[in-house]
Structure 1
Amino acid sequence: MCGICGVFEFGANQRPVEETTLIRMRDTMTHRGPDDAGTYISPDGRVGLGHRRLSIVDLSPAGRQPMSNEDGSVWITFNGEIYNHARLRVDLERKGHTYRSRTDTETLVHLYEEEGADFVRLLEGMFAIGLWDARKGELLLVRDRIGIKPLYYAVLPGTILFGSEIKAILAHPRVSRRIDLAAFYHYLTFIAAPAPRTLFQGIHKIPPATRVTIDRKGAIRAETYWDPLDAPPEEGARYEDEEYSAARVRDLLGRAIEKRMMADVPFGVFLSGGLDSSANVALMARLMNRPVRTFSVGFKDHPSYNEFHYARKVAALFSTDHHEVEIGSRDLLDFMPDLIFHQDEPIADWVCVPLHYVARLARQTGTIVVQVGEGSDEQFFGYDHYVRFYRNQARYFRRLMKLPRAVRRAAYEGARGLAFLLHRGGDRLDLLRSAAREETFFWGGAIAWREEEKRRLLSLDARLRIDGLNSHDVVLEIDRQAMKRLQDDDFGKRMIYLELRNRLAELLLMRVDKITMASSVEARVPFLDHALVEFTMRLPTDLKIRGGRTKYLLKKAMTGLLPEEIIHRPKQGFGAPVKEWLRGELYGEAFSAVMHSRLRQENLLDYDHVERLFLAHRASSRDHSWHLWTLYNLSRWYDHWIAREAA
């Protein structure tokens, strides 16, 4: 895992890339690559590439980046891991390509020479790539299929900048810092900015499975090179056969874990004791002749959030080398400045806090690579609310949509008034709202502020400036892409497709990347091996939640490998006691940070309404922890990244 950055000067009045600027951009990401660093500037000064290296495969100086082909016409800076690079290398050497290292980076360069931009279709792994083709005069930027690795870029007059982190782009002296109002509006709903926007105006994130080509005149072309619903069915696959599909899932997951054990440094697993992380441990243990290193995190003052009992049971069963850390509210407060720094833009998921401490624990033991369980819940219907949405769509939403729109609107307005009086809402109100407004029923697994809630939150001035925006448009565009590709009317597949394209890529995977890399730890995600994703996307949803049980198929796949107590334990989820902290130790800090933030100068929020939310939450009359954490992250981000620079 590494940090990459670059500058492409394409303007008529082009200025040569300054090495001091390139190094400054690169070294904002030293945490991503503390082991080595390199730069390349083209002979004509038009292109500069930077790289920070976290050495994992081929630890020798031969693995230094940026790296070129034999004649220096192709240069690359690369972040990630290519798990099939050894197989690709055999064919490339047969074709006459000469290697100087054992790295996967060198395989990328030679594969590009053979395949052009389509080389990405042959890769198995996670990656963010910046590649300069001097012969064509083109810069190629690529993000992996699922979006495990981040990649950002900015367009200035005559200049393109890119980086693994936004802070690398911000280090360029010509980049200004202003809040992007559309990204801000959507962040309030999705608790992360959907691609291609970021909270910084003019800085874009490359969506998953996208390659961006910039030619010598600065023309930009973006293309999607993969979609899980476009993959052809496996030959001979029996997707509706429960026994076959469970065995196939177990086989594909085992292969994914084995591929992700490729490393010349120590590796391990983050273990909560839930089904996903326990499956990672069980399948890895079968492949190793030494104990698996496992790491768990818990909470000192809130034992109901702890999963140590289950983690210890799994650790004992597989004789792992187990490590634990406990944290409290003081640890959250100590970590907040670093959290804001490493996130670059707000990711309002409080899992970032325990994730930081368990990643730091891993690094303290000398563990450089970990496998994590992200992606399992989304593919296998691991949340109860997924099941509720899926069933409510079939039982109620379709029937409601057959009623006249006036009737649907009247039903919603009546229910909304009653919900306001009773301080209740829930799934049924969401259902009526979507039917009345003819919106997509499912918006995602982590929705903070709905549209009417945002209208109460925003100032009058902000509502006028943002008039016309609706976060449903983000959902609708992704849902249309799913319906265009689906061969059946399985609403569950549409739900999972939306999660893969938005919440998973821009929230869950970004929290994993940014927070683990803050401790110079590489996280690998076996459940998101693209072969496994392609297989699970073809499975009927009823096979995943048979009998209303979440993760039915995955549980069946793990039967005989894990104890029944682990397979069928109630889902707890990897969380943090932020609701309680915001009523106690964290209340004063969060209230002050939000109410006295320089974000107020933007005149975006109704701070009287915000204060009422704080008071209601502290009084325990309502649980506003999700809303308040969103605003707390936003305010701290603004003060660090926008206001401080302006000052």
Structure 2
Amino acid sequence: MCGICGGVRFDGGEVFAPGVLEAMVASLEHRGPDDAGIHREEGVALGFRRLEILDLSEHGRQPMANPDGTVRIVFNGEVYNHRELRRDLETRGYRYRGHSDTESILYRYEDRGTEVFCDLLGMFALAIWDQRRRRLILGRDRAGKKPLYIWEGGGRLLFASEMKALLADPEVSREIDPRALADYLTYGYVPAPRAIFEGIRKLPPATSLEVTRAGSTQRRYWSLSFEPAWDASDRKARNRAKKELEGRLEEAVEARLESDVPLGAFLSGGVDSSTVVALMARASDSPVRTASVGFGGGADDELPAAREFAKRVGAEASEMVVRPDALEALEKICWHFDEPFGDPSAVPTYYLCKMARRQVTVALSGDGGDEAFAGYRHYRFERIEDRLRRLLPGPFRGPSFGVLARLAPKWDWLPRVLRAKTLLTNLSLAPERALAHSADRLKFVGLASILRPELRESLGGYDPAEPVFRAFEKTRVPVDPVSRAQHLDMRLWLPEDILVKVDRASMAHSLEVRSPFLDHRLLEFAARCPSEWWLSGATSKALLREAALPWVGEETLRRGKQGFSPPIENWLRNELRPRIEDELLARGSRSARYLEIDRMRSLWKIHCSGQRDLCDLFWCLMVFETWHRTWIS
């Protein structure tokens, strides 16, 4: 894993002022502490930081050039089919100098041009400068594991793995984009292509960008289609699919075991990470090294289960307990994430990666399992809502359920089964609008009610549901409600929250994380299966559970889903309460420039009284306050 940066211009001027490219490269040192490289020529400049994983020799250094120096590449990630590509390219006359995956990408580009992205199996963000064609090619992997930020201005286009590298150029503004702030408060993250600062954007996953003197052309080279290939009631087809799933899981894990440095895995004790560890143990001659994090006891602590499973497969296990004082590292997390990021599981993920790095340089994870195999609880709710929605025609459903939703109280202290406000509201809405409502962290507070008037005016009627609607543009919207929700999670939640969290937290400690469940061949197979094979009644990941049973055992499969969130409710109401009241809600706080502090104080009193659970809101605001102090103030 590495960090890349650079820029291009076509008017004959210098791409960067003296020292700027060096500062950009230096800002990415945590992503690649082992080596650095810079290349400059007329109209282009490329920078690179290297974390050595494959081919530790000088032949793996970047920026890497083809033999005649007319094509150069900087590449962040891993391509797992590079050996197959090499065999094919060598038959076409290409001569290799080393054995890195970077060299295979370089020659594949020479052979196939911009179609190179369709041939890559793995995770990547890369830039290729083609001197002969005078063009810069940028691209990201299908799932969006590896990030790429872009800025344009003054006849230049700049790019970098992290936004902090772009900010090393003094011409890049730190003016907050009001719409990005609205997105952050709504979702807890800023969805692509928008970034928190004006003028900066993210290249979306599965997308390439070609930049020439004439302009730029962006295209999506891959999309996941949720169209069942089999009848859900066909038992023989289901049995064949189970066998195919077993083979694809083994294939995906084994493909990610190649490394010239120590390798291990994250282990929570749940079905996803346990499946990965079990398959690693079957494919390895030595014990798997695992890393696990807990929160010092309680019903949600996963350490006991992780410890037991590690013993069962003979793993060398490492553990860490994250306690409230660990949140003193919030400033470091805000620096590494660049943008405000409101998912509290970033805290344990940060420490999990820190601990894992003491033992290994590469770790496999179970990320993507919930999205691919319908593991989230809200998929059950989507199916229930769809059935209820079909009982009443649209012209009557909207007004009827809308009135009931407005009358229903929002009592968070009641048992979940008695909380009907979200359900009734969703039933009054069209499916895509209902998905946006479910994802909205402020749905019962109201974004407009907490913004200062001038910020509301600057939004100009912007609807924060736009990222949800954009996820369904230029694609065939799945009819099945579970598949529809999976599609949205694959386009929004997974790349913008889960994968951002893992990339930044791991790269903060120079750790590479590989995700077998995000193998695009496995994702395509899962999307072809009827949703009933994944979500069978109240059983999530049903087909995965059947396939994994011989590997992980019944005890692991019986465990309920616990997630990876710290006890944030207790932290906010107890240890962190002074921090909220003395910093965030002070008249001179950074947040007071954008938010109505009196309204926030009122909401805080409601939260502390136990009337409403506003943990998500106040955690997001505390992160924003810390982020603002780090990057603006």
TM-score by length of 2: 0.94
Q: Does 1:399 align with 2:391?
A: yes
Give how far 1:239 is off: 9.8
Equivalent residue of 1:419, what SS? coil
Partner of 1:355: 349
Alignment correspondent of 2:13: 14
Residues 415-439 of structure 1: CA distance to partner in whole angstroms, max 9, x if unpaired? 3233258987987433433454546
Equivalence for 1:124? 121
The separation in 2 between residues aligned to 1:361 and 1:222, in whole angstroms, is 39
Matched residue, 1:2: 2
Deviation at 1:603, TM superposition (A): 4.0
2:525 corresponds, among 526, 535, 550, to 535
Residue equivalent to 1:432: 424
Question: Which stretch of the first structure deviates more once superposed, 597-606 or 200-209?
Answer: 597-606
Query: Is the Cα–Cα contact under 8 Å of residues 410 and 421 in structure 2 kept in the other structure?
Result: no
Partner of 1:304: 299
The range that moved more, 67-76 or 455-464, is 455-464
Asked if 1:556 is matched to 2:546, the reply is yes
The 5 Å alignment of 1:467-482 reads 467-482=460-475
1:631 lines up with 2:625 in the alignment:
no
Corresponding position: 1:460 with 2:457: no
1:410 deviation in Å? 5.1
Q: 1:579 aligns with which of 565, 569, 572?
A: 569
- Residues of 1 paired with 2:402 and 2:137: CA distance? 49
CA contact (8 A) 1:139 1:215 kept: yes
Task: State the Cα distance separating 1:479 from its structure 2 match.
Answer: 2.7
Task: Sort the Cα spacing of 1:427 and 1:504 in 2 relative to 1 into closer, same or farther, 3 A.
Answer: farther
2:336 aligned residue: 342
Confirm or deny that 1:112 pairs with 2:109: yes
Q: How does 1:44-63 map to 2 (within 5 A)?
A: 44=42, 46-63=43-60
Q: Percent identity at matched positions?
A: 37
The separation in 2 between residues aligned to 1:598 and 1:9, in whole angstroms, is: 42
> Which residue of the partner structure matches residue 247 of structure 2?
251
1:94 aligns with 2:91: yes
Paired with 2:439 and 2:344, the residues of 1 have a C-alpha distance of: 12
Q: 1:498 deviation in Å? A: 0.7
1:77 match: 74
Show the counterpart of 2:260.
Answer: 264
Q: Output the TM-score relative to the length of structure 1.
A: 0.92
Q: C-alpha displacement at 1:452, in angstroms?
A: 5.9
Contact conserved, 1:451 with 1:471, CA < 8 A, in 2? no
Partner Cα distance (1:22, 1:592) in 2: 40
Deviation at 1:180? 0.8
1: CA distance between counterparts of 2:72 and 2:586? 47
Q: In structure 1, what is the equivalent of residue 288 of structure 2?
A: 292
Equivalent-residue separation in structure 2 for 1:313 and 1:421 (angstroms): 38
User: Which residue in 1 is equivalent to 2:406?
Assistant: 416
Contact 2:340 2:627 in 1 (8 A): yes
Q: Which amino acid aligns with 2:559?
A: R
What SS class does the counterpart of residue 469 from structure 1 fall into?
A: coil
TM-fit CA distance, 1:497: 0.9
Q: Do 1:39 and 1:51's aligned partners in 2 also have CA atoms closer than 8 Å?
A: yes
1:328 and 1:249, CA in 2 relative to 1: closer, same or farther beyond 3 A? same
Question: Aligned letter for 1:429?
Answer: K
Contact 1:598 1:639 in 2 (8 A): no
Aligned to 1:197: 194
Which aligned pairs between 1:453-532 and structure 2 lie closer than 5 A?
Answer: 453-484=446-477, 486=478, 489-532=479-522
Using the TM superposition, name which of 429-438 and 381-390 deviates more. 429-438
Q: Which segments of structure 1 move beyond 6 Å, counting only runs of 4 or more?
A: 230-234, 421-427
Which secondary structure does the structure 2 equivalent of 1:221 belong to? strand
| Displacement of 1:482 | 4.3
**Alignment check: 8 A CA contact 1:68 1:75 kept:** yes
**1:327: Cα distance to partner?**
1.7
CA offsets per residue over residues 231-273 of structure 1, 9 Å max, x none?
9979xxx898322222222211111111111110111111010
Number of residues of Structure 1 aligned to a counterpart in Structure 2:
627
When the two chains are superposed, the root-mean-square deviation of aligned CA atoms in Å is 2.3
Measure the CA separation in 1 of the matches of 2:306 and 2:375.
19
User: Which deviates the most, 561-570 or 455-464?
Assistant: 455-464
Measure, in 2, the Cα distance between the counterparts of 1:130 and 1:592. Answer: 45
- C-alpha separation in 1, matches of 2:591 and 2:91: 63
1:317 to 1:439, Cα distance in 2 relative to 1, 3 A: closer
The verdict on how the C-alpha distance between 1:81 and 1:72 changes in structure 2, with shifts beyond 3 A counting, is same
Distance 1:308 1:252 in 2: 29
Equivalent in the alignment of 1:331: 326
- 1:501 & 1:33 partners in 2: Cα distance? 28
1:39 Cα offset (Å): 0.4
Structure 2 counterpart of 1:251, one-letter code: G
Residues 361-390 of structure 1: per-residue CA shift (max 9 Å, x gap): 11122x000011111011112122221122
8 Å contact 2:143–2:490 — kept in the other structure? yes
